[in-house]
Amino acid sequence: MNVALVVAPVFDDVTGYSCDWSNEIVDLLKTSYNVFAIAGREIGRTEVEEALKNGVNLYVHYGHGSEDCHWGSRKVKIVDLKNDVLLGGKEVYCMNCLSASKLGRDAVEKRGCIAYYGYTDVFVFSTDALKEFKQFANAGLKHRLLGYSWKSTVEFVKEFADVIAEKLCSEGKYIAASALKHDASVLVCWEQGSMQKKKSWLDIIKEYLKRIFKRNKSVCCGV
Amino acid sequence: MMHVSDNEIKQLLIEEAKRKPNEKIFFGGVSFTYGDLALVLEGKVDSFSGKQKINCLNTYAKKLIKSFREIHARGIS
């Protein structure tokens, strides 16, 4: 049986909510995975590293993230650019801020991570629509567990966000609707082979010079 | 579709924020009450403590307005 590791630390209000949302995911995963959950408290780097080494196929993180890491507590980075080699050969599902922007890309581009589902900007939510934000946060994994591809999953969740936003607007919850729409707009799933490589400035200058060189050559040759 | 200006969107968000000032909005690890949000959207920054927090909320408020514009563009109002 496949193994899923769910990591959902608690160390402030936000992580209290995100850990609560992850409980539904743990229950759902139990139908098709051996689930190992580390949740409800501050979590250390070593325990996550050890857990990731134990044949994990799917790694799930609910909590705080930054561009380059997942947080286990206010001070401890449990996964970052130094140990993301541990994400190699795994699928990753995140409900955290920003981590898809750098860590996710790095894990897929350089470390052999199969797929990285997450957000490239802050995840925004409000207390007047907690049920809806939970639905949105969990929708991707629920859809994926039905057997759909990651690409289809992201498309589905973005459309689902529009449906929820419409419902929220009809209830006069414009702020929550706007927040949810923002979250959907920064949702991505990086996958092996489907990533557009980020161009460095050097690459851009090289391409530009090549184009000029080609054009000049054509003019010289009278083509 | 009827054009909606940023000011009209702002007004809509301010009215909602004022109706329920104690609700909270979380931008990652930073939280604000809807009351705070209303103050910043109204430009009443003097009533708000912490320059850094004002800048932060200003940035996020712009994101909310941009997102609401996208919702409106889909025909949801």
What ipTM describes this predicted complex? 0.85
Q: What is the pLDDT of residue A157?
A: 98
Neighbours of A203 (CB within 10 A): 11
What is the rounded CA–CA span in Å between residue B31 and residue A206?
Answer: 44
Contact across the interface for A98 and B34, Cβ inside 8 Å: no
- From the list A134, A182, A160, A156, the residue with the least C-alpha distance to A16 is A134
pTM for the whole thing? 0.86
One-letter amino acid at A192 equals: Q
Q: From the centroid of its chain, how far is CA A221?
A: 51
Query: Could you report the per-residue pLDDT of A85-143, keeping only the tens digit for each?
Result: 999 999 999 999 999 999 999 999 999 999 999 999 999 999 999 999 999 999 999 99
Tell me the residues of B at the A interface, defined by beta carbons under 8 Å apart: 12-13, 16-17, 20, 23-29, 31, 34, 37, 60, 63-68, 70-71, 74, 76-77
What is the pairing mode between strands A69-71 and A3-8? unpaired
Q: Torsion-angle region of residue A8: left (phi > 0), alpha (psi -120 to 50) or beta?
A: beta
Contact across the interface for A178 and B67, Cβ inside 8 Å: yes
Q: Which residues of B touch A123 (CB under 8 A)?
A: 28
The nearest alpha carbon in chain A to B38 belongs to A175
Annotated domain spans of chain A = 2-215
Side by side, which strands form the sheet with A69-71?
A65-66, A69-71, A77-80
What is the rounded CA–CA span in Å between residue A61 and residue A198?
Answer: 25
Q: What is the pLDDT of residue B61?
A: 80
Comparing A221 with A39, which gets the higher pLDDT?
A39
pLDDT at residue A189 is higher than 80 = yes
What is the rounded CA–CA span in Å between residue A123 and residue A130?
Answer: 13
CA angle A197, B70, B29 (to 5 degrees): 70
Query: Could you report the per-residue pLDDT of A50-95, keeping only the tens digit for each?
Result: 999 999 999 999 999 999 999 999 999 999 999 999 999 999 999 9
Fold (topology level) of A2-215: Rossmann fold (3.40.50)
The nearest alpha carbon in chain B to A11 belongs to B29
